[in-house]
Amino acid sequence: MGIISNDISRAIEILTKGELVAIPTETVYGLAGNIFNEDAVRKIFETKGRPAFNPLIVHIPSIEELNKVVSYIPEKAKQLANAFWPGSLTLVLPKKSSIPDLVTAGKSTVGVRIPNHPITLELLRRLEFPVAAPSANPFNRISPTRPGHVADYFEDSLEMVLDGGVCQKGVESTIIGFENDNPVVYRLGAISVEDIQSVVGTVEIKNKKEQNPEAPGMLLKHYSPRTKIIISESIPADLKAYDREKIGVLSFSKTYNEALVKVNSTLSPSGNLEEAAANLYQALHDLDSQNLTLIVAEKFPEEGLGKTINDRLQRAAS
């Protein structure tokens, strides 16, 4: 039997016996394990090569389940949950004592979300426990947005990838924590800061922290291809500066057909930032497989999901 399957019952069996299953969400594929089985949680960290100080996100099927995981919900957290769940929002809230410290990297808070994917919602409803599910890629590598990405990474170490097709959003969830009950953005993601602010007003952004991070995605180096990547304010100028390299260009809407460009990946010919975000990781996977010596990535407009794309590119280039 192949590693990629759409058999939810088989996924339930594997997770219930304490093994891992890669699951689809609208953002990226996650590497899921039972949060109450410490061996399963350890396997998540070991399989990814993820440091134990980097907390995991807990996935639940409904808002009604939130009280089983967290001990306190600020008013603005309720507003955000009502506005964006199921969806690409993770809330970092004080945890119930029943949540193992291994899941939260010893912190008193836990990141929680309800993914907006029909297959995984059905899986979560049928399981007798929530799952922890960081992105299903080796630590620091490009996140997976298709089942084949996960199989390429973990063919020999994972029993099953639950096939949910291509991830619709294509970048990770936006993570919001609370300091004195006020929302703070810990990770830019698939819901823009502008959309968050339309619900709760101005929010602070604190999305970089190397030591003891409050949430995933705060480390300076992350989401990285093996190929060297630079962020360009002017692609024509950088093509001249790096003319001895085998160059792939990652651009927003314009295609660069210059002789120096071996491969051009244009994320949204129509200039749509949501489409560009959805295509970002697939483009990086493709470019990384082309035996290039350099990826020149265009800097995106600092608005909407352009901020999220720039955040991912900066960490990839770090």
Q: Encode the chain (318 residues) as per-residue pLDDT tens digits.
A: 479 999 999 999 999 999 999 999 999 999 999 999 999 999 999 999 999 999 999 999 999 999 999 999 999 999 999 999 999 999 999 999 999 999 999 999 999 999 999 999 999 999 999 999 999 999 999 999 999 999 999 999 999 999 999 999 999 999 999 999 999 999 999 999 999 999 999 999 998 877 777 778 777 777 889 999 999 999 999 999 998 889 999 999 999 988 889 999 999 999 999 999 999 999 999 999 999 999 999 999 999 999 999 999 999 998
The answer to whether 126 and 8 are in contact (CB under 8 A) is: yes
Fold for domain 4-205?
DHBP synthase (3.90.870)
For position 245, what pLDDT does the model report?
A: 87
Q: Which two tokens stand for residue 240?
A: 């001249």
Domain spans in the chain, listed from the N-terminal domain onward: 4-205, 229-317
Distance CA 193, CA 195 (A): 5
> What pLDDT, on a 0 to 100 scale, did the predictor assign at position 260?
86
CATH of domain 229-317: 3.40.50.11030
Distance CA 262, CA 242 (A): 13
Whether the Cβ atoms of residue 205 and residue 187 lie closer than 8 Å to each other: no
**DSSP secondary structure string for all residues of 40-77:** HHHHHHHHHT--TTS--EEE-S-GGGGGGTBS---HHH
Distance (Å, whole) CA 109 – CA 107: 5
Specify the pTM: 0.95
Please compute, for residue 144, the number of CA atoms within 13 A of its CA located in the half-sphere on the CB side.
29
